[in-house]
Amino acid sequence: MDPKRVFRWILGIAVGTVVMGLPTFLFVWQWLDLETTNPNFWYALAALSSFGTFSTIVSGLLMMEIRLKEIARTRKRERAIVAMQVYADVFHMMMTPDQIVARKWIYEFLRDPATASSEIPQDGREHVKLVLNTLDYLGFLVKNDWHNSEAIIEWVRPMVQKVWVRIQPLVERERERRNEPTFYISASHLAERCQAHHPLLDFEVVDGAL
């Protein structure tokens, strides 16, 4: 809300208090024919003062509420802007030409779960490492509740699940060979979250697919 408009509201309440309170006080004073030496005069004046103080407090609370609502709306807009930037970053991370080529290679050439890392050619190794590094990075961010993790998982889930079906056996064997249980553990976490979100039992590679 426009601060000038808020100020006009508060000023209107304050002026309204004076406009309504002072004539009321003068009317009561004349009606009761009070004198300044009469104790009731001072009681009435004290009541008017209390009314003015009360209206000031109400005005302050109203201004505070308006300000808090404005802050909440501003923060909501800022979170929405940040979220859109996050989704854009994830899109560019997952949809680069190298990432697409790497995933297609994995879909096509790692169909046999028993494929050993020693049997993978050098270009295939680079494809696998590229995809694993991306999934591990994204999994780390999701694990630490990077903004709206559920929305991110909803979008990346099909790609993550299909590629993880192919490379999970390789990762698990490499963990045993290295004796390193945390080897690409964030990538595993991401795959588990995706699978829990919507289980993927199997998929078919379509020749000549886009």
Q: Tens of pLDDT along 177-204?
A: 999 999 999 999 999 999 888 787 566 6
With cut-offs at 50, 70 and 90, classify the pLDDT of residue 5. low
If you count DSSP H runs as helices and E runs as strands, how many of each does the chain have, helices first? 6, 0
pLDDT of residue 106: 94
List, for residues 152-180, the tens digit of each pLDDT value. 888 889 899 999 999 999 999 999 999 99
Give whichever of 9-18, 90-99, 122-131, 193-202 has the largest mean pLDDT.
Answer: 122-131
Handedness of CA 137, 142, 148, 152 (dihedral sign): positive
Q: Tell me the residue type at 57.
A: I
Annotated domain spans of the chain: 3-77, 95-197
CA 57 – CA 35 distance, rounded (Å): 30
Contact between 153 and 197 (Cβ < 8 Å): yes
More confident residue, 199 or 138: 138
Distances (CA, A) of 149 to 58, 169, 193: 42, 26, 10
Distances (CA, A) of 147 to 84, 138, 153: 10, 12, 11
Q: Give the range among 1-10, 33-42, 97-106, 193-202 with minimum mean pLDDT.
A: 33-42
Return mean pLDDT, the chain. Answer: 77
Check whether 99 has a pLDDT greater than 80. Answer: yes
In 3D space, the residue among 9, 46, 7, 55 whose CA is nearest the CA of residue 28 turns out to be: 46
